[in-house]
């Protein structure tokens, strides 16, 4: 009897199973012992962790390595800066640029890593099982993902032209990518940014988080690339007129060293601790965060290497009496990257009392450390004393104070400069609107925007008749040198060749060719795409 009862319940059990789920439900795997793409992102905190991976990638742009590693997007080898140690190095010799170049290949890879993370955010946030407090909370997270996806496609299209658009997570291997056009990439980014502009918060929840103003700033640049002048003007105006939040150019001394005499507001903008909006800096729109002695606070070496990279090594100029021992007051520049003559001198002709060109902001005077006949200790080192190439390319050249300090953390000149990095600062928003006004045949309005920046700097105002694209690009050097991604700016304008040919370091001027306005698609990308032909850019 017991065996019949057991058999009865076995049959009932099978009947319940078979009638309570379909074949698909029965076979569907619902893992609870491990994370999958379906269960890893169910709360806002989990999405914040994923978004944190994207912010970490942006840190890479500023702290990826030593030498001139971090200078490439800033305009290495163009009208702005160059490697002063070897004329045969790539970007001094543009003929060396090919599809195996490590600088642009790494940039390409970084952007698609950001796109991958962004697509994961956008896709997972729309799943029904995610616990959101409101639709607004969900849309803000999606907007953050779409902002970064647009940011990455802008970073790609400006340099490489058209690239494959990937609008969803890849769940299986794909080896048949096709390149979209450059305009399609910009339009795709524009659509993402329009969503981000509507759904990102007005204020950052934490320092370094992107906001609506960052989306509109980037939307303006993309709109300019698409020659949508009115759209660009509208987007920048939302940032400037207060619609996107309370932003304004800083005009009074502020921050950690505001009481030091002989300095100015432009100098204050780059002191450690002064970059973030929550510290009172109202022109900070998006700032990449770096922290000293904090896990994850930097990427390499425990600090960014921009001071080491950008500053000359006058502390090691033994010919002028220096000991070769860097001090807290000198920093430890190694002269991996030097400004061009155009950056150091030409753009400052007629500068008047421009605060950005004072000795506080660009150190041009260096002094003998000991008696060196016929000079005595404390005398200014004259140009005539710089008799070798190394003297003026490595030991003595203008140091821009925005890249270093005379008061290092723990007094360490080699490891003690750790500050946050402006990705977007309000003066660039004004310059984008000026560019859009110029495209709209309104040089008067373009001049008015440029003069807001020049007024803050106490520089002579520009007349509308003198405003053209070259003037705006020169003003970008004066205001944004070493901040803007100069390579991307010149790339979107198709002017890498033109500006380098006219204003670059001589070896770069002599070697650059017109096809260098676009960079080569990395060879590894082409070789792995075995299912379809990935077209290379002309000239490579």
Mean pLDDT of the region 269-282: 97
Contact 214, 200 (CB under 8 A): yes
Determine the pLDDT at residue 32: 59
- The mean pLDDT value of the chain amounts to 93
Least confident window among 55-64, 211-220, 455-464 = 55-64
% of the chain residues with pLDDT over 90: 89
Lowest mean pLDDT among 6-10, 265-269, 377-381, 518-522: 6-10
Burial (Cβ within 10 Å: 0-12, 13-18, ≥19) of residue 372: middle
Which has the higher per-residue pLDDT, 40 or 436?
436
> Quick check: pTM over 0.85?
yes
What is the per-residue pLDDT for 31? Answer: 57
- Calculate the CA dihedral of residues 48, 51, 57, 62 and round it to 10 degrees: -60
Three-class DSSP category at 90: strand
Phi, psi of 367 (to 5 degrees): -125, 150
Domain boundaries, the chain: 203-292+419-467, 306-417
Give the model confidence (pLDDT) of 440-456 as tens digits: 999 999 999 999 999 99
Give pLDDT tens digits for 191-203.
999 999 999 999 9
Q: How far apart are alpha carbons 471 and 450 in whole angstroms?
A: 10
Under the banding of pLDDT at 50, 70 and 90, the label for residue 300 is confident
pLDDT tens for residues 484-509?
999 999 999 999 999 999 999 999 99
In this predicted structure, the answer to whether residue 323 has a pLDDT above a threshold of 50 is yes
Place of tokens 């950690």: 256
Q: What is the pLDDT of residue 10?
A: 35
- Residue 107, token pair as written in the block: 């940039």
Angle, alpha carbons 484-486-492 (nearest 5°): 115
Question: Residue 271 and residue 267: Cα distance in Å, rounded?
Answer: 7
Collapsing DSSP states into helix, strand and coil, what is residue 376? Answer: coil
For residue 3, what pLDDT band results from cuts at 50, 70 and 90?
A: very low
Phi-psi label, residue 464: left if phi above 0, alpha if psi -120 to 50, beta otherwise: alpha
Quick one: CATH architecture of 203-292+419-467? Alpha Horseshoe (1.25)
- The DSSP string of 483-497 is TS-HHHHHHHHT-HH
Q: How confident is the model at residue 12 (pLDDT cuts 50, 70, 90)?
A: very low
pLDDT digit string (tens) for 375-400?
999 999 999 999 999 999 999 999 99
Measured between alpha carbons, how far is residue 322 from residues 84, 375, 379, 417 in Å? 21, 14, 13, 22
* Integer Cα distance of 149 and 194 in angstroms: 12
Q: How confident is the model at residue 299 (pLDDT cuts 50, 70, 90)?
A: confident
Q: What are 128-173's pLDDT values in tens digits?
A: 999 999 999 999 999 999 999 999 999 999 999 999 999 999 999 9
Is residue 379 packed enough to be buried (19+ CB in 10 Å), middle (13-18) or exposed (0-12)? middle
Residue found under tokens 């942006």: 58
pLDDT beyond 80 at 324? yes
CA distances to 52, 106, 125, 169, 498 from 118, rounded to whole Å, are: 11, 18, 11, 9, 35
Element (H, E) at 400: strand 399-400
87-103 tens-digit pLDDT = 999 999 999 999 999 99
Whole-number percent of the chain with pLDDT over 70: 93
Q: Is the pLDDT at 18 greater than 90, yes or no?
A: no
């Amino acid at each position: 009897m017991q065996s019949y009862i057991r058999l009865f319940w076995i049959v009932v059990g099978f009947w319940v199973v078979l009638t309570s789920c379909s074949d698909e439900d029965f076979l569907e795997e619902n893992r609870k012992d491990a994370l999958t793409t379906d269960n890893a992102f169910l709360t806002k905190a989990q999405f914040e962790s994923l978004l944190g991976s994207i912010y970490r990638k942006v840190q890479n742009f500023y702290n990826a390595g030593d030498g001139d590693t971090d200078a490439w997007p800033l305009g290495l080898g163009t009208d702005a800066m160059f490697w002063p140690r070897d004329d045969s190095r790539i970007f001094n010799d543009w003929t060396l640029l090919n599809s195996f170049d490590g600088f642009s290949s790494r940039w390409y890879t970084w952007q698609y890593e950001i796109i991958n993370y962004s697509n994961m955010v956008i896709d997972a946030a729309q799943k029904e099982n995610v616990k959101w407090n409101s639709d607004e909370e969900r849309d803000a997270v999606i907007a953050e993902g779409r902002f970064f996806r647009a940011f990455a496609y802008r970073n790609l299209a400006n340099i490489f032209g058209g690239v494959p658009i990937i609008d969803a997570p890849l769940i299986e291997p794909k080896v048949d990518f096709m390149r979209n056009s450059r305009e399609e990439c910009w339009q795709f980014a524009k659509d993402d940014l329009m969503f981000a502009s509507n759904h990102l918060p007005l204020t950052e929840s934490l320092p370094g988080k992107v906001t609506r103003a960052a989306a509109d700033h980037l939307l303006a640049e993309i709109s300019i690339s698409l020659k949508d002048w009115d759209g660009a003007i509208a987007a920048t105006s939302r940032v400037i007129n207060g619609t996107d939040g309370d932003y304004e150019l800083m005009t009074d001394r502020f921050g950690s060293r505001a009481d030091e005499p002989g300095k100015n507001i432009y100098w204050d903008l780059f002191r450690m601790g002064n970059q973030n909006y929550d510290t009172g800096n109202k022109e900070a729109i998006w700032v990449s965060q770096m922290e000293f002695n904090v896990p994850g606070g930097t990427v390499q070496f425990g600090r960014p290497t921009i001071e080491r990279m950008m500053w000359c090594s006058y502390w090691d100029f033994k010919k002028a009496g220096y000991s070769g021992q860097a001090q807290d007051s000198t920093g430890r520049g190694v002269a991996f990257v030097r400004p061009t003559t155009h950056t150091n001198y030409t753009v400052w002709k007629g500068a008047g009392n421009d605060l950005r060109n004072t000795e506080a902001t660009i150190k041009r005077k260096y002094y003998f450390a000991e008696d060196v006949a016929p000079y005595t200790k404390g005398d200014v080192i004259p140009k005539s004393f710089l008799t070798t190439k190394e003297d003026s390319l490595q030991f003595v050249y203008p140091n821009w104070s925005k890249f270093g300090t005379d008061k290092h953390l723990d007094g360490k000149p080699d490891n003690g400069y750790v500050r946050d990095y402006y990705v977007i600062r309000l003066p660039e928003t004004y310059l984008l609107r000026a560019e859009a006004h110029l495209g709209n045949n309104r040089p008067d309005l373009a001049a008015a925007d440029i003069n807001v920046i020049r007024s803050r700097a106490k520089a002579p105002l520009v007349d509308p008749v003198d405003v053209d694209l070259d003037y705006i690009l020169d003003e970008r050097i004066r205001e944004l040198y070493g901040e803007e991604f100069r390579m991307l700016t010149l790339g979107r304008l198709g002017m890498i060749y033109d500006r380098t040919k006219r204003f670059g370091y001589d070896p770069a001027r002599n070697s650059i060719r017109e096809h260098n306005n676009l960079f080569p698609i990395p060879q590894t990308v082409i070789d792995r795409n075995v299912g379809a032909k990935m077209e290379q850019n002309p000239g490579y």
